[in-house]
Chain A
């Protein structure tokens, strides 16, 4: 395929992915808006006032970056996992397999679709958070880079999940039993300084911690860990997951006999 043709194929996949999550907005865009509003109201407003300051900020200010990041992570992941799995389930993935679109373009198309939803939901949640607190972005560059890299990383995670999934249960098991606990334990609601030493060390094994903290640094200017180290961790995971996803696609894992 010529470069221009590859670009058209790439845009086609992204357009289709965006069209998909916009078409089913009551399932994709509305739930995170409602859930996060409840988080802001209950944890931030009601309980947060009793908790007091954390990291030098009000509890509401402290959890907003974490909650925005949590929405981005969950939505990037589930967009790719559900879209790719349902293409497998309906066999419509064959439309791509019979075409000359290279596998790396297929992968990037799906990932960018996930990123688009992650960013869109992130924007909605950010706008909603402004009803509860003031956000003053301390480092716009770090904020944008972390958001994009995190959504890329979790879109790739969703892709690997969908490749191996054989039923819709398999698509929901990973988010429920792995992603949500990692996110909750990734410093969304607290600083790891509050934890006993052993749990602090264990928390450092959680990749979500690095993303939440890097993003919090971008917004509030505070972080439990070094932002440079966080970026390195995120980038490393992306390289590994991208290579693995491409390997699985080239092998035809779960999609070719």
Chain B
């Protein structure tokens, strides 16, 4: 079966001697919503750079939809659309020209390009800015412009390198709705992000990279199953006057005694906490996870390897 992306023994050593990738193996299935996570300098951007020809690899193989980049990179590139981390368009060009020019680089005629530009700029709510020089756009608009530009040749794989960095919450949500729709229509999505809740909510499969090595490569569901401990925050309707403890459940009081954190280990149930609170006559007005579950795993996996 042909995979969307197949990477084997991929290595990259920079001229400085820094080994950014130490022979990673990775497979992304067609139609997947895949997250590539890792701390800064782990090798995410190098991997993406190699995929889209911005970085020369030192060793290994990369295939995009079965096309080996060493044999026919031009065809392989047609399958890919890239939204980089940093803004990389000509700041003096207008929005429309940036998108249509990019289409030209893929050999798409100007008529077709103009139609597609209108379609994607409208979908990304940039059509009214089509004649605006790109430097005049807000940060969020610039991000959307890069998405429109990456989609202009209708790629089968869309790579998004930290696309929501510095984007406000409302815009981030609408951007993800758009990306989710693309994925539902069959586009394979590869995402790197520092917002791990995004990866948990959106992605089906995940790879965690650290110091040039893949430390985990599995489905998000399987990964979350390995979580041994979760911390919940309980908000009470009144202040706790005398701090209490529950056997087997470590508790920390916060918010001046109006809330507390409790650690629930694998095999324990939250019911025990509720029963205790009921007996004490304390009312819970809300309850939530302290931190993102994936974040806890991420930190653990990275620490384990250090």
User: Which residues on the B side are within 8 Å of A175 (C-beta)?
Assistant: none
What does the 1/0 interface line of B42-65 toward A look like (CB < 8 Å)?
A: 000010010011111000000000
Q: Is the CB of B54 within 8 A of A87?
A: no
B31 to chain A, nearest CB (A): 22
The answer to the question of B139 belonging to the interface, with a C-beta cut-off of 8 Å to chain A, is: no
A39 to chain B, nearest CB (A): 31
Contacts across chains A and B counted by CB atoms under 8 Å? 89
Q: Which positions 181-216 of chain B face chain A at CB distance < 8 Å?
A: none
- Say yes or no: A91-B107 contact (C-beta < 8 A), given A16-B101, A100-B78, A256-B56: no
Q: Bin the interface of chain B by size.
A: 20 to 34
The answer to the question of A37 belonging to the interface, with a C-beta cut-off of 8 Å to chain B, is: no
Total interface residues in chain A, CB < 8 Å: 32
Q: Is the CB of B56 within 8 A of A6?
A: no
Q: Is the CB of A98 within 8 A of B90?
A: no
Contact of B14 among A6, A94, A98, A257 (CB under 8 A): A257
- Say yes or no: A12-B74 contact (C-beta < 8 A), given A97-B54, A257-B56: no
B288 to chain A, nearest CB (A): 40
User: Which residues on the A side are within 8 Å of B82 (C-beta)?
Assistant: 98
Q: Is the CB of A98 within 8 A of B107?
A: no
Q: Is the CB of A92 within 8 A of B90?
A: yes
The answer to the question of B222 belonging to the interface, with a C-beta cut-off of 8 Å to chain A, is: no
Q: Is the CB of A87 within 8 A of B105?
A: no
- Say yes or no: A95-B89 contact (C-beta < 8 A), given A8-B109, A9-B104: yes
The answer to the question of A2 belonging to the interface, with a C-beta cut-off of 8 Å to chain B, is: yes
Q: Beyond the given A98-B80, A257-B49, could you list 5 further A-B residue pairs with CB under 8 A, ordered by the A residue number?
A: A9-B104, A9-B105, A15-B104, A91-B86, A95-B89
| A→B interface (CB under 8 Å) | 1-2, 4-6, 8-9, 11-13, 15-16, 19-20, 23, 86-87, 90-92, 94-102, 252, 256-257
| B→A interface (CB under 8 Å) | 14, 46, 49, 52-56, 73-75, 77-78, 80, 82, 84, 86-92, 97, 101-102, 104-110, 149
